[in-house]
Structure 1
């Protein structure tokens, strides 16, 4: 939520900056050249920058979510295995659990 609010504030600052710099400029790229408002250039640069950042961060987020899901699954499996081993230990040697005071994790 904090990142969303910060992104909105940043967008507002960029928009105000762009509107205050509404001069016509000539943009050239390779073989073409055209004249447009500086507002359009600034806003397009901000949009392309946001798209580039998103395209880089999305695969990382997907990988991290996959790793988290696997870790949670493995944790559940280990907890189940631990419970089964404790149950077997109680059946095999009840005195061990009596010495522990019946403490369970």
Structure 2
């Protein structure tokens, strides 16, 4: 996966044999990744009929309406945090809005 608006970053998912004993957040190793997206609500619609299951619907964060996020679990039980910055939030080293748009090849 690579952002449409940038060519200096890519995110690789590597298919490995199923690990039936893997439980997200209860196993050692990589458990989650956060990706900055342009429109979390649009992405939620795109992911509805995909191998990714939405486990946290899009919502503004409790402490600011300038950050909207959702969580998904992938086909290998990996967790992805998909976060939209509606504008720069000074207390975070956030990207400008609409910098990254992640489109999975489903």
- TM more than 0.5: no
Q: TM-score, normalised by structure 1?
A: 0.17
Q: TM-score, normalised by structure 2?
A: 0.17
Structure 1 or 2: larger helix share?
Answer: 1
Of structures 1 and 2, the larger Rg is shown by 1
Structure possessing the higher relative contact order (Cα contacts under 8 Å, 6 or more residues apart): 2
